[in-house]
């Protein structure tokens, strides 16, 4: 099965910072990669599909890039509402999630 | 607005079968080529995809859980269900039901239930 590894596990940042989260796949998943945001006690929210396609209603400060085995989620200017845990998900073969990256206030 | 809601026992004994139902409202479970899935999250840990099903009964399972999982759909009640057999403490988790994007059973999930905590303990 395909393993997904996110880095870092925790990220401390300030409002206004540019934030980048990396997700690596153990084998190529082409562009079959999604990103989610999860806040404590809530269900995940889909942000990006197919590596770089932003879901409707998601702020444009979020962007995704990459293909094959390496992907990034970038928040261009971190807002207070963005402090949360972020997960990548591959859907090339079955489906597996990364272990998550917690974005916390510095 | 599409809504999903999980229901079922919050406590299951080891070796028994966990049973959950997801009730869909705001749209027909038979509309379009969606799949309906189950995902779980152990306390303080990450997400794990379990399985999904189409309205016609086509299924997709995580290989590591497939032998213990039964997923079914009841279009007349606009519901789909999960059964997980021979549970252990490792199956303690928040269980979410969700809808996939149009396509395959492992596609990303854009509508989620609130989740329900299931604890496995004697």
Average pLDDT over residues B17-32: 94
Question: How large a percentage of chain B has pLDDT more than 70?
Answer: 100
pLDDT at B84: 98
Q: What is the pLDDT of residues A6-58, one digit of tens each?
A: 999 999 999 999 999 999 999 999 999 999 999 999 999 999 999 999 999 99
User: Which of A49, A98, A99 lies at the smallest CB-CB distance from B108?
Assistant: A49
Q: Which residue reads 């099965």 in tokens?
A: A1
Residue closest to B83 by CA, chosen among B100, B103, B61, B105? B61
A10 CB within 8 Å of a chain B CB: no
Q: Does A44 touch chain B (CB under 8 A)?
A: yes
- The closest of B93, B75, B88, B101 to B8, measured between CA atoms, is B93
Q: What is the dihedral of CA B52, B58, B63, B69, to 10 degrees?
A: 70
B33 or B27: whose pLDDT is higher? B27
For the stretch B80-91, pLDDT in tens is: 999 999 999 999
Could you tell me the pLDDT band of residue B32, with boundaries at 50, 70 and 90?
confident
In the predicted model, what is the mean pLDDT of chain A?
Answer: 97
Segment B11-34 shows an average pLDDT of 94
Task: Please tell me if residue A5 touches chain B, with a CB cutoff of 8 Å.
Answer: no
What's the token pair of residue B96?
């979410």
Q: Give the model's confidence band at B34: pLDDT under 50 very low, under 70 low, under 90 confident, else very high.
A: very high
pLDDT tier at B103, thresholds 50, 70, 90: confident
pLDDT value at B33 more than 90 = no
| Mutation target among B1, B47, B49, B104 for the A interface, most CBs of A within 10 A | B47
The residue-averaged pLDDT of A61-66 equals 98
Contact A43 B110 (CB under 8 A): no
B61, with CB counted inside 10 A (0-12, 13-18, 19+), is: buried
Q: Which backbone phi and psi does B108 adopt, to 5 degrees? A: -55, 160
Instruction: Tell me whether B104 touches chain A (CB under 8 Å).
Output: yes
**Half-sphere exposure (Cβ direction) of A96: Cα atoms closer than 13 Å:** 19
Query: Who wins on pLDDT, B101 or A25?
Result: A25
């Amino acid at each position: 099965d395909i393993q997904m590894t996110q880095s870092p596990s925790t990220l401390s940042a300030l409002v206004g910072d540019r934030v980048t989260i990396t997700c690596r796949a153990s084998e190529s998943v082409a562009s079959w990669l999604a990103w989610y945001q999860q806040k404590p006690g809530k269900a995940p929210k889909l942000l990006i599909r197919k590596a770089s396609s932003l879901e409707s209603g998601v702020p444009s400060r979020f962007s995704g890039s990459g293909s094959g085995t390496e992907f990034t989620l970038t928040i261009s200017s971190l807002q207070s509402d963005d402090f949360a845990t972020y997960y990548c998900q591959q859907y090339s073969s079955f489906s597996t999630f990364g272990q998550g990256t917690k974005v916390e206030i510095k | 607005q599409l809504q999903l809601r999980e229901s079922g026992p919050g406590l299951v004994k080891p070796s028994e079968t966990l049973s959950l139902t997801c009730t869909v409202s705001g749209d027909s479970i038979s509309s379009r080529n969606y799949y309906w899935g189950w995902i779980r999250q152990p306390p303080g840990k990450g997400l794990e995809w379990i399985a999904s099903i189409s309205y016609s009964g086509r299924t997709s399972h995580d290989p590591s859980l497939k032998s213990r999982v039964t997923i079914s759909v009841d279009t007349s009640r606009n519901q789909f269900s999960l059964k997980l057999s021979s549970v252990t403490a490792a199956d303690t988790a928040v269980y979410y039901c969700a809808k996939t994007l149009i396509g395959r059973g492992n596609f990303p999930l854009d509508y989620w239930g609130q989740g329900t905590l299931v604890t496995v303990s004697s």
